Amino acid sequence: MAAKTTLNAKNLEALGAPRLAELLIEISTGSAAHKRRLRMALAGNHSSAEVAREVRKRLASIARARTFIDWRKVKRVKTDLETQRKTIVETVAADDPKEAFELIWQFLALADSVFERSNDGSGSLIESFHQACADAGAIAKSAGVDLDILADKIFVAVQDNGYGQYDQLITSMVPALGNDGLERLKGLFVQWAKEPKEKPAKDERKVIGWSSRGPIYEDEVYATRRDLTVRIALQEIADALGDVDAYIAQQPEKTRSAPLVAADIANRLRSAGRAKEALTALDKVDTKGRADVPFDWQLARVETLDALGRGEEAQAFRWTCFEQSLNDEHLRAFLRRLPDFDDLEAEENAFAYAQAYPDIHLALAFFLRWPSSAEAAKLVCRRRGELDGDLYELMTPAAEVLAEKYPLAATTVLRAMIDFTLDSARSSRYKHAARHLAECSSLARRIDDYGSAESHDAYVADLKHRHGKKHGFWSLVG
């Protein structure tokens, strides 16, 4: 049974309403946020109209604010925004969705004023506006907003999307718009794209920056941004309408040979039952001699080959992709399609191939992802001279994984990092190298046979011989 002093609803109820009211007044003194919460609760006790009035007042106040939002204030502003957003969604929308729609739109309109005076490197604030886009879509459908009005509002908003606050708006509004609304919205963007691009007189053009090719003019940037906005919007609308050809039409011909663009087009064509055309789109990419072909393009190709009933060719391509990059997803897909027991032999062949792969670090990363710590241990012990101790993002997790069962392999990896740090005189890493040496000392108790590697004592003696004057390091060694 919880103590009577435990903070829970039941114990607080025992204080009685008068005492709780006194405590709330006391706690809220000096806290504008707490006072706003209390006023909102009082308004909600009367009607959603009162709540809406309080929310509208607060949104207007936020819009008028001019105080800079540095990193210390982001959390407080985020809490305030979320309080207003949730109140609109959870309280106002339930009783008056039309009023809630106007409020959520007012909320979205705050984005420019908030981001103009903020420095939010965490992306916390933009999350509230992206969620508000999703909320606006649900509320608009519930409120039955007129399609012409809704399309016009979306069109105007997306035109001014300088901070990316409306990135998800069109997709969120699809259920409320329906096909008729989407066609209306499409027409607005098509018409905007046809409007002439006004070019100011030469002496009136505003320079906003410089590049290697000369001045950057404001009107040129606006025109480029407008073209991009129209293209992205029409692509989203095409996806919502299931119009693959309209989506493809928004891709300039020269970009269709880019791997990621070709993969996007192929995936849509294949989903529409047009696998043959999908393969043609993928074949526009020249992959000969390229080691940087994106995984997305490779995946689109194997899935398209499967869709065409060319399973053997798809399998061969999966194996080729694995050989090129040691991508474990390709290998897993390859193995899943093999008969029982054949997959075991194929896995052994893949491991042997990875063991001999020219780039030991890609091979090590592959074995860690698979995962196979035994193969990773064999790799680092056999090819320890190739390890690059500067790759601490890979070496650190490798040492942690190997330490459990393979202390010699873990020691090998740790020594690579220690040697790089001292050989390069990276004083900023001395504390890490000292910690790695302590870990080697601990692992040494579990190593019976060092094979061709030096024992721990011999390794430490060699370090002192080579780097004995690096006092900054040795002062950190216990």
In the block, residue with structure tokens 């919460």? 37
In the numeric block, which tokens belong to residue 99?
A: 């009023």
Single-letter amino acid code for the residue at 150: L
In the numeric block, which tokens belong to residue 349?
A: 């062949």
Half-sphere exposure of 245 (CA within 13 A, CB side): 1
In the numeric block, which tokens belong to residue 249?
A: 């039409």
Q: What is the pLDDT along the chain (478 residues), one digit of tens a residue?
A: 456 667 667 666 766 767 666 666 666 666 666 655 656 555 554 567 889 999 999 999 999 999 999 989 999 999 999 999 999 999 999 999 999 999 999 999 999 999 999 988 789 999 999 999 999 999 999 999 999 999 999 999 999 998 999 999 999 999 999 999 999 999 999 999 998 877 666 666 777 677 777 766 666 766 788 999 999 999 999 999 999 999 999 999 999 999 999 999 999 999 999 999 999 999 999 988 787 899 999 999 999 999 999 999 999 999 999 999 999 999 999 999 999 899 999 999 999 999 999 999 999 999 999 999 999 999 999 999 999 999 999 999 999 999 999 999 999 999 999 999 999 999 999 999 999 999 999 999 999 999 999 999 999 999 999 999 999 999 999 7
| Cis-peptide, bond into residue 97, ω within 30° of zero | no
CATH class, range 253-356: mainly alpha
Q: Taking a C-beta distance cutoff of 8 angstroms, is the pair 173, 151 a contact?
A: no
| 118: β partners | 69
In the block, residue with structure tokens 């040129």? 220
Q: Could you give the residue range(s) of every CATH 1.25.40 domain in the chain?
A: 253-356
In the block, residue with structure tokens 């939002």? 69
Gyration radius (Cα) of the chain, Å: 31
The separation between the first and the last C-alpha atoms of the chain, rounded to the nearest angstrom, is 49
pTM of the model: 0.77
Q: Taking a C-beta distance cutoff of 8 angstroms, is the pair 55, 86 a contact?
A: no
In the numeric block, which tokens belong to residue 284?
A: 């526009």
Q: Taking a C-beta distance cutoff of 8 angstroms, is the pair 396, 432 a contact?
A: no
